[in-house]
Chains A and B, each alone.
Chain A
Amino acid sequence: AQKITQTQPGMFVQEKEAVTLDCTYDTSDPSYGLFWYKQPSSGEMIFLIYQGSYDQQNATEGRYSLNFQKARKSANLVISASQLGDSAMYFCAMINSGGSNYKLTFGKGTLLTVNP
């Protein structure tokens, strides 16, 4: 069974500092994808970054980078130069084959608060 674990229910960071949000996963599939989504209080799910299981390099998207350590099965999100608008819920998710459909499995999320 696929599982995503986010051990930090809440995180605090000072504006302009970097923060790392932890994510570990468990799957027996050799092929999978890892995502990070941001969910502000409005509820919409905003795609941030994607890492494929066969990607050799860590994914980066602007201020977001994914620290992918395959042997440890971790996919931590690093947000550099935090901004007040980064305060939101962050979900790590994994996609892999679920029979004939491909499903996203989500972690429980981490609530990030950026302090001025």
Chain B
Amino acid sequence: GAVVSQHPSRVICKSGTSVKIECRSLDFQATTMFWYRQFPKQSLMLMATSNEGSKATYEQGVEKDKFLINHASLTLSTLTVTSAHPEDSSFYICSAGGQSLMAQYFGPGTRLLVL
């Protein structure tokens, strides 16, 4: 199957700093990438949908100025958590959509801990 990578896999940062997470589709072009957040023992919650070359669409309740998404190319989307706070500590996971709508390939996720 298709491969999606995320970097870093784990990051610890100080409160107030910004953290960038990369999501790459390694062997296919992804016109659409999705960003999810998962708190411990909870389900995945869609944060935003990013389409290459256009602004991301954020879900209700997600602050677009805090979670900056850039989808600069067909193989790369980035999520930047700006001025991170301890409550932003979570598991962030991306998925990339190929040509088939049923095909969403998930990255391995990034564990963020804000101290």
What's the interface size class on B, roughly? 20 to 34
If A101-B57, A102-B101, A103-B49 touch, whether A43 touches B43 (CB-CB below 8 Å) is no
Residues of A within 8 A of B104 (CB): 95, 104
Shortest CB-to-CB span from B55 to chain A, Å, is 12
Interface size on A, residues (CB 8 A): 23
* B contact residues vs A (CB 8 Å cutoff): 1, 32, 34, 38, 42-46, 49, 51, 57, 91, 93, 95, 97, 101-102, 104-106, 108-109, 111
Q: Dominant SS at the B interface? A: strand
Q: Dominant SS at the A interface? A: strand
In the complex, 19 of the A-B residue pairs with CB atoms within 8 angstroms, ordered by the A residue number, are A33-B101, A35-B102, A44-B106, A44-B108, A45-B95, A45-B106, A52-B102, A95-B102, A95-B104, A99-B57, A101-B32, A101-B49, A101-B51, A103-B34, A103-B46, A104-B46, A104-B95, A106-B43, A109-B43
Any B CB within 8 A of the CB of A50: yes
Q: Which residue of A lies closest to B97 (CB)?
A: A102
Contact A106 B101 (CB under 8 A): no
